Amino acid sequence: MNEIVVPEIRAAGAVLWRWDSSGKPEVAVVHRPRYDDWTLPKGKQDPGETIPATAAREVREETGFVPVLGRSLGRVRYPVTTMDGRSGQKVVDYYSARVAGGQFVPNDEVDALRWLGPEQAAVLLSRNTDRTVLDAFTALPPDTTTLLLVRHAKAGKRDKWEGDDDLRPLSKNGVKQAAALRELLPLFGPDRVYSAPRVRCTQTVEGLAEDLGVPIREEPVLSEEGYWPHPSDGVGRLLEIAAEGGTPVVCSQGGVIPHVVEHLARSSGAATPALAARKGSLWVLSFTTAGGGAPVLAAADYLASPLPREVTDQS
């Protein structure tokens, strides 16, 4: 009899971390009574949910803590057997996630949580795949600066727009993408918003700015016309924004974003996935600062679309 194979099961989780009393990072390891194992918080994706949203929700549900997502820690795969005996493969995406409040309360899925230094956590974890994720977490300092680089959502076609191209607005699908970004971007803890001075760019992030109660600061050197005469000025401005700390959101255009990411990656040696910038897409750029110097790109993760029905690519 042929074995029945189910489609892959998508899931997401995080290395949830905080500073201990001595200023060193510690991570959360949870115990699941159903499996009697110690693991990183994670869980299956719900229908209509993006992978980052799954990671944030599962961390909240299993630990009681509110996470702020950061860089991707990669993807692991392993075989599973469903309750009815069918074979499948589980695919789990992980993020670094800083604690932003909350409290652990034992629940049906998780009956114990321990805060441990990464070395102690690696010993306690039951799965080697979790140790691999923890290794990715410790490869960089935990407190990297996140800059969220967004390409504007879909706009009406240029050849059908008779007015000034700077004023070309979002299309109906673009409005949907902007609404999805309004839900996605807060998972990463943004605190201010910048945009190229194009209506389609500002419309993409105006909902987020409204929710945060902050203005949209226009950045002419991050528009296509402003960037290409002097690309170094645009890259420099992006680094200035990152150097201010916090988690800025920057909305730019498709003719700028791949070049900026390539330049930053080449300068620092950071690995990146294929350099793309689909409309409505997001680059999660993680920067480190050594000795108070200029920010250096340490990681770059690409999310092809904020809409859950579309493929999400990550490094």
**What's the rounded mean pLDDT across residues 295-300?**
96
Tokens of 236: 């420099």
312 located within any domain? no
Quick one: 106 and 49 in the same domain?
yes
286 located within any domain? yes
Q: Which of 70, 227, 232 is nearest to 147 (CA)?
A: 70
224 located within any domain? yes
- pLDDT reading at 122 higher than 50: yes
pLDDT digit string, tens, across residues 144-167? 999 999 999 999 777 566 666 667
Quick one: 208 and 251 in the same domain?
yes
CATH of the domain at 174: 3.40.50.1240
34 located within any domain? yes
The reported pLDDT for the residue numbered 38 is 98
Residue type, 43: G
Residue type, 309: R
Quick one: 285 and 246 in the same domain?
yes
State if pTM tops 0.85. yes
Quick one: 160 and 236 in the same domain?
yes
Query: Per the structure, how many domains does the chain have?
Result: 2
CATH of the domain at 27: 3.90.79.10
Q: Which of 192, 118, 151 is nearest to 276 (CA)?
A: 151
Count of beta carbons in the 10 Å neighbourhood of residue 87: 12
The reported pLDDT for the residue numbered 312 is 41
- pLDDT category at 278 given cuts 50, 70, 90 is very high
Q: Please, which residues bridge with residue 192 across strands?
A: 248
132 located within any domain? yes
Quick one: 299 and 156 in the same domain?
yes
pLDDT digit string, tens, across residues 229-244? 999 999 999 999 999 9
Count of beta carbons in the 10 Å neighbourhood of residue 98: 22
Q: Are 279 and 154 in contact (CB under 8 A)?
A: yes
309 located within any domain? no
Q: Which of 193, 278, 174, 194 is nearest to 234 (CA)?
A: 194
Quick one: 117 and 180 in the same domain?
no
Q: Please, which residues bridge with residue 281 across strands?
A: none
pLDDT digit string, tens, across residues 57-87? 999 999 999 999 999 999 999 888 777 777 8
Tokens of 199: 């209506």
Quick one: 278 and 158 in the same domain?
yes
3 located within any domain? no
Domain assignment of residue 96, given as a range: 9-138
Tokens of 116: 């441990």
The reported pLDDT for the residue numbered 22 is 96
The reported pLDDT for the residue numbered 80 is 83
Dihedral sign for Cα atoms in the order 252, 258, 261, 266 = negative
Quick one: 168 and 232 in the same domain?
yes
CA distance 315 to 273: 5
The reported pLDDT for the residue numbered 55 is 98
- pLDDT reading at 290 higher than 90: no
311 located within any domain? no
DSSP annotation string for 51-66: HHHHHHHHHHHHHSEE
Q: Which of 8, 117, 114, 25 is nearest to 70 (CA)?
A: 25
The reported pLDDT for the residue numbered 314 is 39
